[in-house]
Amino acid sequence: MTDETEVEEEITEAVDEDDSEQEPREPTEADHDADFAEDAPSIEDMFLKARRLFELREQRDKDKKAAERSETEYRDYEQEFYHALSESPIVGALKLDLGNGKIVSFSPRETHYGRLLDAEKAKEYFKARSDDGEMFEQKVSGKRLNELVNERLEARQQMPPGIDYRSKYAVAISVQD
């Protein structure tokens, strides 16, 4: 133990001696230039990098617009397909072999989402039922509101005051290889 303590004291003294000999100084521009001179890109490199960044931004914006158009086209056609499938004599999923060894299933899906039309009326309704703690913690619980809407729709009951819903129609597509 004493040997380790003596070594630590000697190291500390040596460090203290080195610190006392050198005064701290601010780095100079020459220090900065020396540190970065080897790695610094040239003006030509910076021009090329700036051009590449600009091109990537333009491509990103173009791709984003194309993706938005594609999403809109897909969702519109999905609605059309959903309604055609719903009105057809086909019950359940439509399974097709589209080639390349892939069997594709198309299943109609209907999802209902609750929405508040009048928060005060809804709060009064839930207070009367002693449900307000669960439904109105800090804000309306979307998950619980959707559950309530689905329960009411399944039971063919009216929506509570201040509550309405919207439906989303979609087609689930699954591929089997």
For residue range 54-75, what is the model confidence (pLDDT) as tens digits?
A: 899 999 999 999 999 999 999 9
Query: Is 148 within the bounds of a domain?
Result: yes
Query: Is 138 within the bounds of a domain?
Result: yes
Same-domain status, 115 and 127: yes
Residue 114 burial (10 A CB sphere; 0-12, 13-18, 19+) = buried
- Is it the case that residue 11 has pLDDT exceeding 60? no
Per the structure, the complete domain to which residue 140 belongs is given by: 92-176
Global pTM value: 0.51
Query: Is 141 within the bounds of a domain?
Result: yes
Same-domain status, 109 and 150: yes
Query: Is 171 within the bounds of a domain?
Result: yes
> Which of 8-12, 104-108, 129-133, 167-171 has the least mean pLDDT?
8-12
127 Cβ neighbours under 8 A, 6+ residues apart: none
- Is it the case that residue 133 has pLDDT exceeding 60? no
- Which of residues 71, 89, 107 is at a domain's end? 89
Query: Is 1 within the bounds of a domain?
Result: no
Query: Is 110 within the bounds of a domain?
Result: yes
Same-domain status, 127 and 151: yes
Q: Which residue has the tokens 């080897």?
A: 38
- pLDDT at residue 52, rounded to an integer: 92
Query: Is 153 within the bounds of a domain?
Result: yes
- Which of residues 41, 74, 89 is at a domain's end? 89
Same-domain status, 138 and 73: no
3-state secondary structure of 48: helix
Answer with the residue of higher pLDDT: 26 or 105.
105
- pLDDT at residue 124, rounded to an integer: 80
Query: Is 45 within the bounds of a domain?
Result: no
How many structural domains are present in the chain?
2
- pLDDT at residue 19, rounded to an integer: 47
Same-domain status, 102 and 140: yes
